[in-house]
Amino acid sequence: MPRSGRKLLWKPGTMLYPVPAVLVSCGKPGARPNLITVAWTGVCCTEPPMCTIALRPQRHSFDLIRASGEFVINLTTAAMARAVDWCGVKSGRDVDKFREMKLTPQAAKLVAAPLIAESPVNLECRVREVRELGSHQLFIAEILAVHADPTYFEPKTGYFDLAAARPLCYCHGHYYEMGRYIGKFGFSVEKKRSSKRR
């Protein structure tokens, strides 16, 4: 229940938070690869695996992605927070973001855009559809390949512990790293193991 007993009514806005703060890498033949910070991204289909990113047409990366039809979503960490923010306020028309932020471009398997080696997870994507929505256009893309840093695999179980990488989130103008663990999917209906009395 709200602490005051009522809620404030705001005008419609983009208040769906928190969201992942990712770096999207892109490029086209003959052009310098670029990075753009994107918070409006998400998955939208399982079979085939698909995702979306929303970009303003004025952004330098918009034309690069329209021309190539490809991009890579690079998940980020708390250690990458400065680079994430910097790549969101600087234009790739003027600077080499990989070089300036000392990030390492790594060849992808199926797309021309590079991966970021420092990212714990990279998703190679190919654009399937672009929708004009208003201030932003939505790129709907198929996920062609996923790269995961073996550092975060638990050897005994094979579990990929992404939380150990301290993933970076964006919440209404501010960055946060992922917080306290609460439970796995389905924990609310999971039967508890009965303990035998001794």
- Domain span including residue 26: 19-177
| CB burial of residue 24 (10 Å; 0-12, 13-18, 19+) | buried
In a domain, 189, yes or no: no
pLDDT at 121 over 60: yes
Mean pLDDT for 27-39 is 90
Instruction: State pLDDT tens for residues 173-195.
Output: 999 999 888 898 899 998 876 54
| Structure token pair of residue 7 | 């809620």
Average pLDDT over residues 49-76: 97
Residue in the block written with tokens 């400065």:
82
The CATH number of the domain where 147 resides is what?
2.30.110.10
Candidate from 31-40, 103-112, 187-196 with smallest mean pLDDT: 187-196
- For residue 8, tell me if it sits in a domain: no
User: What is the reported pLDDT for 181?
Assistant: 86
- Is residue 61 situated within a structural domain? yes
Instruction: Write the DSSP assignment of 69-91 as a string of letters.
Output: -EEEEE--BGGGHHHHHHHHHS-
Q: Decide if 13 is inside a domain.
A: no
In this predicted structure, the answer to whether residue 4 has a pLDDT above a threshold of 70 is no
- Determine contact, residues 177/162, Cβ cutoff 8 Å: no
Higher pLDDT, 179 or 37: 37
Q: Are 125 and 143 in contact (CB under 8 A)?
A: yes
Q: Would 141 be classed as within a structural domain? A: yes
The token pair at 196 is: 């035998």
Distances (CA, A) of 146 to 13, 75, 122, 125, 198: 32, 11, 6, 9, 48
* In the chain, % of residues over pLDDT 70: 95
What does the pLDDT read at residue 30? 78
The domain tally of the chain equals: 1
The answer to whether position 2 is within a domain reads no
Whether 9 is covered by a domain: the verdict is no
Is the preceding omega at residue 29 within 30 degrees of 0, hence cis?
A: no
CA distance 58 to 129: 19
Strand partners, 70: 126
Question: What DSSP state is assigned to residue 104?
Answer: -
Q: Are 56 and 146 in contact (CB under 8 A)?
A: no
Beta bridge partners of 116: 105
Is 77 part of a structural domain of the chain? Answer: yes
